[in-house]
Amino acid sequence: MTDEANTAPSRRALIGWGGAGLALGAAAAGGTVAALSGDADDTRTVSDSGAAVPFYGAHQAGIATAVQDRLHFAAFDVTTDDRAELIALLKEWTKAAARMTQGHAVGGGAVSDLAEAPPDDTGEALGLKASRLTLTIGFGPTLFKDRKGRDRFGIADRRPEALIDLPAFPGDNLDPARSDGDLCVQACADDPQVAVHAIRNLARIGMGKVAIRWSQLGFGKTSSTTPDAQTPRNMMGFKDGTRNIAGTDTAALDKHVWVSGKAGPAWLAGGSYLVARRIRMHIETWDRTSLKEQEDVFGRDKGEGAPQGRQREHDEPNLKAMLPTAHVRLAHPDSNGGARILRRGYSFTDGTDGLGRLDAGLFFLAYQHDVRDGFVPVQRRLARTDALNEYIQHVGSALFAVPPGVRDADDWWGRALFS
Amino acid sequence: MRAARTPVVAAISALTTITAVAGCAQKSDAKDSDAIQVTASDSACEVSKTSFPAGHVKFAVENKGSKVTEVYVYAPGDRIVTERENIGPGTSTSINAEIKAGSYEIACKPGMKGHGIRQKVSATGKGKPAQRDPKLDKAVAEYRTYVQKQADDTLPTVQKFADAVKKDDLEGAKKLYAPSRIGWERTEPVAESFGDIDPKVDVREDGLEKGQKWTGWHRLEKSLWQTKKITAADHDLADQLIKDLKDWQKRVGTADITPTGMANGAKELLDEVQTGKVTGEEERYSHTDLVDFKGNVEGAETSYKLLKPVASKNDPELAKELDKQFAAVGKLLDKYREGDGFVSYDTVSESERKKLSDAVNALAEPLSRLAAAVVTK
């Protein structure tokens, strides 16, 4: 990355953030969260500076990384059947991702010398900060074996057991046009334009090899991986990420989020599994629900976010004080055999739905080391009895195996899978 | 074509601004001090010189008016040599063009509307653009022949269509409608470079400007498929279509054609597919969009094949990719063949349309690099 940084114009360099970027680059060597593990002041500095999150590391950035403000998530179908082409694309994507996350333009830049050709980079991030952009790739079940059962890329036997076809949950109303995908890329950044720019450029690079299947924009992170910070609120006005796994809690990450070399296939060691669910909220009916019912549905008070019967948000919840159907009670690890997942969902509002209802909700993103004892049992319990179900509906769903981090400039997304 | 006035401008820019760019890439012989000043306002269009040497010419445009303006350079017959739109109030821009000896008109169009405020100018002497690869000259010559042949072959097919309309033969006219458009669709960027013909023959209802009479293919399409009735007015429209297309046939050979214009024209054809055909907007009554789609692709492929000897030398990878993607689009289109033509586009599902769209993207993205492969080295 440093070589490229020296030869190409940099968004960061243009506005004088070179120093901050280099310091973070050095911190990167230790792992994903080293730069964020300091005290609260340090965290704020990183967040507000618009600086770059290290791209290289043992784990992909964008999982344990302190949650950024904005999201552009895209699921792709691979349109080529040629393994070499897919590999070439993954290499090209990795290179572009390494550049964009460090605040550089793709390829020859947005204003190359050659006037006859469209520029390599689309240019809408020119002059913007790196904005803590992270790009995280995932591989869907259909990459290993497509819907017709074909092993297009010779990797069917490498499909991890935990990369299951998610079971149907009661109440699901899944739209195939908002579900699944051979690949996904999660782009998170503090500036929405930076996130959109990244997905747009990857899609463009991929034309002829991949095609966007669906995508989702998100704002207003609904959970935090930095426990000292305020837990953000979802579109229902509640704090719903209080018990999330902290990005700095390496023991919890190792136990619940990262796939260990022993449990999964070797190519996925250091990786994770990502569940993405588009959860539509019936906003209008929720808004005319009494405060008491709203608080009973969640099992928290609305103002402070404290669990029912407690005073402060982070107080240990007394599950028995909540209704048996309360969301927090049902989702709590104690109700699920200790299962924990790392959530980094975002709110979404895609305008209105043609019936004048706000098309809004939660784009749920959760990372875990195995969905079979993470998302699946928790969601099964929730789908069956959660009082919240009256106000929400799951309308999109996808599962991806998220490979480990890219080690250095010679490494690429998926190398271990394809070698 | 696209709605409103954008199609003309968009397609033209492919041909003409690229003409200009090619001039820049070769050694520019127009220094800033030689530039012709064009001062546009809401009521005037002042030109610093009305006579200048032919060759590479630079126009330095300043909009001192209160409205957004655009500036055109017209050859006789309102043939657009170059143009620049969206010049905001108080802004300056420059336009480069290769201009042969002859008479021209410079038009400023405050509010980007109408005939514009015009100034007659003339280019003198023998100034010519720099020498280029004879292989490219050959490509241009062959493409010119192709364009002319498309126009020549189109007239009899349109005549048959017009005759059917005039005989009130509804079913016969419906069958002849889509085939009559193929030659036009294959050469659309060139056809559209005649800014006065395109709005007469290929405009859609939503593309009409206030006060503009709706004529041409799509007006008849609506009668045949929507109202399902041929009226006396349609007879006149059929005659008018023939008349306008004869004008096209006569003038098409004079179009400004350059290698980069051909390359970008090919990309423009795919853009037409992506924005008008894949969506089913172009042929909203007849649903014969796939016939147009195929015509656009064939036209693009012809440009590419003619430029390939040079392009494949400069960028062999690109040529390989284009061969592959043209074949892929062709194969995909073949799935929808029916008889001599294609299935009705309203029978093509959303997910199938997405596949067509993805295939067009896969072709158009590398095709956008063809112009560069033609000019470098």
Percent of chain B having pLDDT more than 90? 61
Q: Where are the alpha helices (DSSP H) in chain B?
A: 6-25, 134-166, 170-186, 188-192, 198-201, 217-221, 232-251, 259-272, 289-314, 316-334, 350-367, 370-375
Q: Mind listing the pLDDT tens digit for each residue in B285-312?
A: 999 999 999 999 999 999 999 999 999 9
Contact A118 B260 (CB under 8 A): no
Confidence of residue B33 (pLDDT cuts 50, 70, 90): low
Query: Lowest-pLDDT range, A404-418, B67-81, B181-195, B268-282?
Result: B67-81
Q: Quote the minimal CA–CA distance from A117 to chain B in Å.
A: 5
User: Quick one: pLDDT at residue B129?
Assistant: 55
Report pLDDT for A389. 96
- Spell out which residues of chain A touch residue B314, defining contact as CB-CB under 8 Å: none
**Chain A residue numbers touching B325 (CB-CB < 8 A):** 208
Residue of chain A with shortest Cα separation from B264: A116
User: Looking at residue B21, what is its pLDDT?
Assistant: 36
Neighbour order of strands in the sheet with B69-75: B51-53, B117-124, B102-108, B69-75, B79-87
Mean pLDDT of the region B321-348: 96
The whole-angstrom distance between A80's CA and the closest CA on chain B is 11
CB atoms < 10 A from the CB of B250, how many?
Answer: 11
Q: What pLDDT does residue A15 have?
A: 34
Instruction: Say if the Cβ atoms of A208 and B325 lie within 8 Å.
Output: yes
**How far does A113 lie from chain B, in Å, by closest CA?**
10
Which has more pLDDT, A327 or B79?
A327
DSSP notation for A92-113: HHHHHHHHHHTTBPSTT-SS-S
Name which of A116, A209, A211 is nearest B375 (Cβ-Cβ).
A116
Question: Between chains, do B363 and A114 touch, taking CB under 8 Å as contact?
Answer: no
**What are the chain A neighbours of B362 within 8 Å (beta carbons)?**
79, 207-209, 211
What's the confidence (pLDDT) of residue A231? 82
In A144-199, the DSSP E strands lie at 183-189
Q: How much is the pLDDT for B376? A: 59
The answer to whether the CB atoms of A116 and B21 lie below 8 A apart is yes
Is the pLDDT score of B172 beyond 50? yes
Q: Cβ B368–A204 below 8 Å, yes or no?
A: no
Q: Which two tokens stand for residue A37?
A: 């593990």
Distance of alpha carbon A48 from alpha carbon A69, whole angstroms:
11
Per-residue pLDDT, B3: 38
Q: Give pTM, 2 decimals.
A: 0.78
Interchain CB distance below 8 Å, B363 and A117: no
Residue pair B22/B375 in contact (Cβ under 8 Å)? The answer is yes
Contact B368 A116 (CB under 8 A): no
Interface of B with A (CB under 8 A): 18, 21-22, 24-25, 260, 321, 325, 354, 358, 361-363, 365-366, 368-369, 371-372, 374-376
Average pLDDT, chain B: 86
pLDDT of B32 reads: 54
How many whole angstroms separate alpha carbon A87 and alpha carbon A93? 10
Distance from the B72 Cα atom to the nearest Cα atom in chain A, whole angstroms: 21
Is the pLDDT at B121 greater than 60? The verdict is yes
Q: Of A377, A327, A384, whose CA–CA distance to A170 is shortest?
A: A384
Residue A362: Cβ within 10 Å count: 25
**Regions of chain A where pLDDT drops below 50:** 1-47
Contact A116 B260 (CB under 8 A): yes
Q: Which of A77, A106, A116 to mutate to test the interface with B (most CBs of B within 10 A)?
A: A116
Complex ipTM: 0.78
Most A CBs within 10 Å: which of B307, B329, B361, as the mutation test of the A interface?
B361
Q: Is the confidence at residue B246, as pLDDT, over 50?
A: yes
Of the candidates B152, B48, B28, which has an alpha carbon nearest to the alpha carbon of residue B106?
B48
Nearest chain A residue to B263, by CA: A116
In chain A, what residues touch B358 (CB-CB under 8 Å)?
A: 79, 207, 211
Closest by CA to B313, choosing from B165, B139, B87, B74, is: B139
